[in-house]
């Protein structure tokens, strides 16, 4: 289990600039994207992104707030969570 | 290279967002035995300072974790050594003062509840135990965050019927002193058989005598998640399949809870204690244990088949939890508090769920008669007799049972009691009218049961 990994899940109405907006924030905070997937599920845009925050220039709280603010601007729903919760919940 | 599974991520988010998965409580369990002195004011100071020292960061760190994992942590709580022993060496007893000290400390560190204002008296009362019990009505009516529990029976010691008799009176007094709020004081008072010393749930949380200096116990919940899982199965799925589904969900809930519990314990610099996986309903729609029983195929909770369905649910929850963590403790199972569960409220309202059926259900549920509003004119001796029945079920079956009934002042059958928040609201249930006073007034002790010839 690596404490520096986070999962960002963004969903909502598809529009231009979602991936660009989120990745710009991550780049600004020096957070490295390690994996990214996106698809349309039930007419909704969904993006999953795994990132490493070990070199982040700010605290988890500040980074999350910046992402929340960006998504509010984009009109999207966002979940930012430490990856450990998924690893623990879904593996024996 | 690490990977992630999109399906798992969506499932987790759905469990939290749609089906109310939450960490119900993080409970800091703390020994206060080193605060005992012969001067009650000095004891109070030591108690206050120790709680502040250990719990000052509890709420902040819990909020941080809630933010980092995006899972709600509904309550932060503290559980302390039964206070009867803490105040007992004082030259002059003043347990109401100690209750106010605990309440002040709870306000200062901003926890929702502090438990442990109680005593363990299954074999008999010391002078301090008795003084504490007699102070409960005043203590609960003059504080906000205190919870009180008294253990009056165990499978090893039997039932202390003198204490049972006394608690009938104390419950009545406590409700009457908080009459303006439908007797809410009694909602923070519970009588136990076989109480565990590491339970993080209120009103019964306390820090047992055999526990370490301090520990972080965590209580997770998720009736809504179990309900959704059962609803996803076909109506004719056999009960082995249903039990397995419940175990799978219980496993997922438990591993998540343990992750948060261990991380919080680590940040607080204290040992992790236990995880208590209890399906604790809330009044929110869909977050109901009754809803689970009904999803299994009962028209209404309380009808024939309810005890069997609940037995399977309770057992499957424990099995899933045990597989997930080596440190499952506390109560762990399915709670059936009437006022806190929208489905139970409806079942009681339409007459499907009666007091007697609830008593039968407590033979197989996690705890006991919980958050049941009864008529305000119920005699003390009848309340004592209810306690005696429930203690007998726990004693004989070697399980934890408890009674948290509220004789609602000035209200009767057909009325409703309102508490708000997690405590909810409830229709007042009818109770038997025939007298039990000669039986409970005999006093003495019901001897511990034989532990062989099991039939």
pLDDT in tens, B260-316: 999 999 999 999 999 999 999 998 888 999 999 999 999 999 999 999 999 999 999
Domain presence at residue B420: yes
Weakly modelled stretches of chain B, pLDDT under 50: none
The answer on B189 and B229 residing in a single domain is no
Per the CB < 8 Å rule, is B4 touching A35? yes
Q: Which tens digit of pLDDT belongs to each residue from B348-397?
A: 999 999 999 999 999 999 999 999 999 999 999 999 999 999 999 999 99
Domain A5-90 falls in which CATH fold?
A: Alpha-Beta Plaits (3.30.70)
The answer on B237 and B184 residing in a single domain is no
Q: Does B22 touch chain A (CB under 8 A)?
A: no
Distance from CA of B402 to the nearest CA of A (A): 32
Q: Which residues of B touch A83 (CB under 8 A)?
A: 2, 4
pLDDT at position B452 is 86
pLDDT at position B284 is 86
pLDDT at position B80 is 98
The answer on B268 and B366 residing in a single domain is yes
Among B3, B5, B6, the strongest candidate for a mutation testing the A interface, having the largest count of A CBs within 10 A, is: B6
pLDDT at position A2 is 60
Domain stops at, among B154, B175, B193: B193
Per the CB < 8 Å rule, is A82 touching B64? no
**Given A37, A61, A85, which is nearest B256 (Cβ)?**
A85
Q: Which is nearest to B330 in space by CA: B154, B188, B201?
A: B201
Domain presence at residue B211: no
Category of B438 on φ-ψ map: left (φ > 0), alpha (ψ -120 to 50) or beta: alpha
pLDDT at position B269 is 97
The answer on B238 and B146 residing in a single domain is no
pLDDT at position B1 is 60
Q: Which is nearest to B77 in space by CA: B45, B100, B54?
A: B54
The answer on B180 and B299 residing in a single domain is no
Domain presence at residue B144: yes
Q: Which residues of A touch B8 (CB under 8 A)?
A: 86, 89-90
Structural domain count of chain B: 2
Domain residue extents for chain A: 5-90
Distance from CA of A54 to the nearest CA of B (A): 14
The answer on B130 and B228 residing in a single domain is no
- pLDDT per residue, tens digit, chain A (92 aa), is 468 999 999 999 999 999 999 999 999 999 999 999 999 888 899 999 999 999 998 999 999 999 999 999 999 999 999 999 999 999 88
Q: Which residues form the domain of B397?
A: 219-446
The answer on B296 and B225 residing in a single domain is yes
Q: Which residues of A touch B251 (CB under 8 A)?
A: 92
Domain presence at residue B205: no
The answer on B148 and B41 residing in a single domain is yes
Domain presence at residue B269: yes
The answer on B413 and B270 residing in a single domain is yes
The answer on B378 and B273 residing in a single domain is yes
pLDDT at position B451 is 86
The answer on B163 and B45 residing in a single domain is yes
**Given B1, B9, B251, which is nearest A86 (Cβ)?**
B9
Domain presence at residue B333: yes
Domain presence at residue B455: no
């Amino acid at each position: 289990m690596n404490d520096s990994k986070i999962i960002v899940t963004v969903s909502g109405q598809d529009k231009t600039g979602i991936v660009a907006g989120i990745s710009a924030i991550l780049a600004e905070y020096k957070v490295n994207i390690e994996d990214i997937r996106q698809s349309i599920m039930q007419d909704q845009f969904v993006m999953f992104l795994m990132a490493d925050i070990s070199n982040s220039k700010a605290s988890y709280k500040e980074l999350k707030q910046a992402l929340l603010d960006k998504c509010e601007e984009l009109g999207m729903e966002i979940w930012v969570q430490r990856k450990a919760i998924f690893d623990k919940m879904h593996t024996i | 290279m690490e990977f992630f599974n999109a399906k798992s991520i969506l499932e987790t988010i759905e469990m939290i967002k749609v089906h109310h998965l939450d960490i119900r409580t993080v409970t800091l369990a703390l020994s206060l035995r080193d605060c005992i002195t012969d001067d009650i004011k000095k004891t109070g100071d030591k108690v206050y300072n120790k709680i502040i020292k250990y719990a000052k960061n509890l709420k902040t760190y819990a909020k941080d974790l809630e933010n980092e994992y995006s899972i709600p942590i509904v309550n932060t709580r503290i559980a302390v050594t039964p206070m009867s022993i803490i105040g007992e060496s004082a030259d002059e007893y003043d347990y109401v003062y100690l209750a106010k000290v605990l309440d002040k400390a709870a306000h200062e560190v901003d926890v929702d509840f502090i438990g442990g204002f109680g005593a363990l008296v299954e074999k008999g009362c010391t002078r301090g135990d008795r003084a504490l019990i007699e102070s409960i009505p005043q203590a609960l009516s003059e504080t906000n965050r205190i919870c009180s529990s008294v253990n009056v029976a165990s499978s090893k010691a039997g039932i202390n019927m003198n204490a049972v008799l006394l608690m009938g009176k104390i419950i009545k007094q406590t409700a009457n002193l908080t009459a303006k709020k439908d007797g809410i004081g009694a909602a923070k008072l519970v009588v136990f058989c076989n109480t565990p010393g590491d339970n993080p749930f209120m009103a019964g949380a306390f820090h047992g005598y055999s526990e370490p200096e301090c520990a972080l116990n965590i209580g997770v919940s998720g009736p809504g998640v179990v309900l959704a899982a059962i609803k996803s199965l076909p109506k004719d799925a056999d009960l082995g399949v249903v039990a397995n589904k419940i175990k799978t969900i219980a496993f997922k809930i438990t591993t998540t809870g343990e992750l948060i519990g261990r991380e919080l314990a680590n940040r607080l610099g204290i040992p992790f204690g236990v995880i208590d996986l209890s399906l604790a309903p809330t009044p929110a729609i869909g977050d109901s244990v009754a809803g689970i029983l009904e999803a299994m195929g009962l028209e209404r909770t309380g009808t024939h088949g309810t005890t069997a369905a609940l037995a399977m649910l309770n057992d499957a929850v424990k099995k899933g939890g045990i597989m997930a963590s080596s440190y499952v403790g506390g109560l762990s199972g399915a709670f059936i508090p009437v006022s806190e569960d929208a489905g139970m409220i409806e079942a009681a309202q339409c007459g499907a769920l009666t007091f007697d059926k609830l008593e039968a259900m407590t033979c197989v549920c996690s705890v006991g008669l919980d958050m049941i509003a009864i008529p305000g004119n119920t005699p003390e001796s009848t309340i004592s007799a209810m306690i005696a029945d429930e203690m007998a079920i726990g004693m004989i079956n070697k399980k934890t049972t408890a009674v948290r009934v509220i004789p609602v002042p000035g209200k009767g059958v057909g009325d409703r009691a309102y508490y708000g928040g997690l405590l909810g609201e409830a229709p007042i249930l009818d109770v038997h009218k025939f007298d039990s006073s000669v039986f409970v007034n005999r006093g003495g002790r019901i001897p511990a049961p034989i532990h062989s010839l099991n039939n």
